[in-house]
Structure 1
Amino acid sequence: MILRRIQRKWCHSRQANHSAINGQRFVAVKDARSWNELWTEHTKNIQPAPTAPAIDFNKTMVLGVFLGDRPNTCYKVTIETIEKEVDKRLLVKYREAKTGSVCGQAITQPSHLISLQATELAVEFLALQ
């Protein structure tokens, strides 16, 4: 297996501590309809609802990691690297981290969304330790 790291030149990157998506989910969004549905679900607890970032799905796709509920504000998730296995798949490596020693006592739903050059390759997600 030959993996080639894709440079960290993503069109957009958005990390959040709150999402209306309460369960763990990994997404590869390749069309506008799916993107608008995901964004609506992700932001449904925010009033007024923010407009989804504009994505040109002829050139771009969105990858996302949603961790689901976490017990406090010290948790976050970061998509760290994306590697391409030639003509087979994209391997998205992400890390969940608990930072800080003083944490707000609120349930959070850490997430990280990025956009990058579109591909038809299968997408797999791998948690880093």
Structure 2
Amino acid sequence: QVLRYAIDESHLQSVDTASVKAAIRLNGYFEDSYRRIRSFVAEDMCEDPPKVLLSLLPDTFDTKTAIAIGKELQNVSERTVMNYLKELCRSRLLRKSKAGHYEKIIYDKSGKFNMTDNEPSPPDCNG
């Protein structure tokens, strides 16, 4: 609105429809940019052993499955698997959907991810 006022296309008494539409488009641009950046940052925020476990797990799984795969294929303890799950959640590579159940957050090249069109809230991965 202010930019349009500066070039004598509008006034400052109220916000017009064109400015609202432009603000919505600008917000969409910033959200898409954030998602694209987030896909790169998420990978860098997590150590390799948890990412190896993540690659061995299906897209949705429960704690029991993660522990079994971690013990069998990575030769790590139950506590270590739980720490890996917590780190993966903190890095936003994994989401705890409900008690004992997890979903991978899969980013594509456009920055969108597989669960919703909005950034998931910070997960609680304490067990």
TM-score by length of 1: 0.27
Give the number of the structure whose residues are more often helix, by fraction.
Answer: 2
Higher relative contact order (CA 8 A, sep 6+): 1
Larger Rg: 2
